[in-house]
Amino acid sequence: HDNPDIVYAGSYGGLITRWDYKTRETRIISAWPENPMGWGAGLLKYRFQWTAPILVSKFDSDVLYHAAQVIFKTKNEGQSWEIISPDLTRNDKTKQKPSGGPITHDNTSVEYYCTIFALAQSYHNPSTLWVGTDDGVVSITKNGGKNWERITPRNLPEWSLISSIEPSTYDQATAYIAVDRHELDDFKPYIYKTDNYGKSWKKITNGLPNNTFVRVVREDQKRKGLLYAGTETGVFVSFDDGSNWQSLQLNLPVAPIHDLVFKRDDLVVATHGRSFWILDDLTPLHQITDAVAKSEMFLFKPRDAYRMRGRGFPRPHVGQNPPSGSVIYYYFKEKPEEAVTLEFLDAEGNLVRKFKSRKRGEPEPERIPSSRFQRGG
């Protein structure tokens, strides 16, 4: 967190590498040096999920957590590890048999079950960890792993995969979990919220389509009660802490959403098969309220803008940047009949810039240059 040159990457079988961008040094820091290829989960000392979670502590970047069926912790960036939990899964041996055969077992760890799938640390207390497994168990420790408590929602269907856990930035007893059951032929959405460290949970899915399962839920860092959900078909938003959801799809293509991350006031979306997408500037979502929606007109406070010196060297284009300068958002309850004027004044009230909208006429017919077509042979 405090050194962007250090990158941690995980692979199947519990492999972790540490890459130093500055020195170009790569080092293997796996918690357990065993290749699981060909072995059934039940024959291994540690069962690592294909995408076993790697967590860098929010409070100390030298501290990392990794998960198999137990939680590993390092205090020195992976030079040594200790185990801080018992087996937190159901540990059903009937679901840990080898696959493939009869001569060669076809196991690469993607088939492994009874593993930890989600891991999160509190924003308020470094000793509080939330854990979710792929076989339907949610656990918590509030003292760094000395004691663990199972806090699985009582109405959670059996064998559910806990896809993600989102501890609240506003209240240390609150957290959200996203549950994925599509491999059990259940495509319904499941999101749960607790405000008492998991003693009780409330299902919060009103407004989500009944046939699109949820992989991730995130809480906005600037506005309490503003939630985002990544589903199999797109992104949804809730302004009332999950009581009601609505689509936030806009121009995002229909695609499975595997993760959501905040970068400053932007929402970064990781899709499966349709690249990364970014919703630039969440400022309007932070400021919109019922009162704003009922008002005749509202001018949103823009986020800070920066003037930067231009550079002329060429760089490869891998995406579209947001507009430079300051972006101003405004809202009208009804479409205005007249042109809209926007004036910028200095501290003394003097006019600096003035913009005026204009009505759009009929669109011009598209003209395609003949040079775009080549003569066939």
- Each residue's pLDDT tens digit, 95-113: 998 887 787 778 877 889 9
Q: Say if CB 48 and CB 11 are below 8 A apart.
A: no
Give the CATH H-level superfamily of domain 6-291: YVTN repeat-like/Quinoprotein amine dehydrogenase (2.130.10.10)
Q: What is the pLDDT of residue 317?
A: 67
Q: Which two tokens stand for residue 298?
A: 């509202």
Identity of residue 54: I
Q: Which two tokens stand for residue 101?
A: 């055969």
Instruction: Quote the percentage of the chain above a pLDDT of 90.
Output: 77
φ, ψ dihedrals at 32, nearest 5°:
-140, 115
3 state DSSP class of 227: strand
Q: What is the pLDDT of residue 256?
A: 98
Q: What is the pLDDT of residue 374?
A: 44
Identity of residue 163: S
Kindly list the domain boundaries of the chain, sorted by start residue. 6-291, 297-308+320-359
pLDDT in tens, 268-318: 999 999 999 999 999 999 999 999 999 999 999 999 988 877 666 666 666
Identity of residue 214: V
Query: Which of residues 209 and 318 earns the better pLDDT score?
Result: 209
Model confidence at 375, pLDDT cuts 50, 70, 90, reads: very low
Q: Say if CB 341 and CB 351 are below 8 A apart.
A: no
Instruction: Quote the percentage of the chain above a pLDDT of 70.
Output: 92
Per-residue pLDDT, averaged over 77-86, amounts to: 97
Q: Is the pLDDT of residue 238 over 80?
A: yes
Q: Say if CB 122 and CB 167 are below 8 A apart.
A: yes
Q: What is the mean pLDDT of the chain?
A: 91
Of 31-45, 189-203, 256-270, the poorest mean pLDDT is in: 31-45
| Rounded Cα gap, residues 339 and 321, in angstroms | 29
Q: Is the peptide bond before 102 cis (omega within 30 degrees of 0)?
A: yes
Q: What is the pLDDT of residue 233?
A: 97
